Amino acid sequence: MRITRTRVCLAGLVCAVGLAFVPLKAAEEGRAKEETLAIVYPVADLTVRSVACEHGDHSTFDPSLLLTVIKATIAPESWQDGSGQIAIHEKTCSFIVRQTKENHDQLAELLSKLRRTQERELEKPLSRVDTSKDRDELRDHLVEKDVQDRKHSIQQELHKVFVPPTVKY
């Protein structure tokens, strides 16, 4: 069974309501060990966004790094030989993956670990150096820079006003 445009659309719709798309053949009891099934993995909550600097703070769904991690860690040979397939559904920020049950289990565990790691990172307070010594040094540096800038500006203005006339003989 191959991934068709209809199946990708159906998987995206099913994902949007929080369900998993599993073909009927895969749900049967007596399936072969190497039979593949398609499952939709929502990844919108993972940090797979890129920020376009030229457009301001607009971030877009960019799953390329996550896709690379998945293909490198979950049965890499299956992606290369075509037995495993992955499609990106950008509207729902999800992956539609066709793999074996065992590889789906590994993928679910990987995504779970990434989510836990991300949650821990978000809970950490931002490290901020805010000692009075650092504040004083920063203030002194800014004051010194301001004084130098003003001196330079005054020297330029004086030079414009008091330029000696050129004398021709």
How far is the CA of 48 from the CAs of 51, 59, 69, 84, 90, in angstroms? 10, 10, 12, 22, 11
pTM over 0.75: no
Does residue 74 surpass a pLDDT of 80? yes
The mean of the pLDDT values for the chain is 75
What's the token pair of residue 10? Answer: 């159906």
Residue 29: per-residue pLDDT: 46
Q: pLDDT digit string (tens) for 35-67?
A: 899 999 998 888 765 555 555 555 666 788 888
Does residue 88 surpass a pLDDT of 80? yes
* Cβ atoms within 10 Å of 71's Cβ, excluding its own: 15
Does residue 120 surpass a pLDDT of 70? yes
